[in-house]
Amino acid sequence: MPLGLYSGAARGPINEIVPYPDYGMCKVNIVDSTHPITQSELNSAWILYYWGPVLLPDKTDNVTILGRYEKGNKEPAMLAFDYGSGRVFIIGTHPEFEEDSDRDGVNFADEFDDKGSDWELMKKAVCWCLKE
């Protein structure tokens, strides 16, 4: 059952990135370097793609697109927006996995190299959502 936090559309998986039912790494280009979540990020990040969606906000929504997929028509992959008195961060990839490290406690996707950790991005997203 949907939570109803996001009124836009989500479409996927995106075979141009990684053909379904496979998974692999994808490049996400940071397109808003002024937002607190992405302001200290590099221009792009390599993140695990595992059947994630393109995130298409409604034109009436006040949504900030933070990142776009490099492949798949460069469509939105990472969004942030206010919701009532809270905040929401949505991402179509899986930054929680450390692909080339065992520090996440699982072996899944360890055959890939994420060219760095995505955990700092996620920490900033959590802090932004918590208004810290």
Global pTM value: 0.93
pLDDT recorded at residue 26: 96
Listed as ranges, residues in the chain with pLDDT below 70 are 1-2
pLDDT recorded at residue 48: 97
Judge contact between 7 and 58, C-beta under 8 A: yes
pLDDT recorded at residue 110: 87
Judge contact between 100 and 114, C-beta under 8 A: yes
pLDDT recorded at residue 104: 85
pLDDT recorded at residue 2: 66
Geometric angle at alpha carbon 108, from 125 and 126, rounded to 5°? 10
Judge contact between 121 and 37, C-beta under 8 A: yes
- Domain range summary for the chain, segments of one domain joined by +: 13-129
Is 117 exposed, middle or buried (CB count within 10 Å of its CB: 0-12, 13-18, 19+)? middle
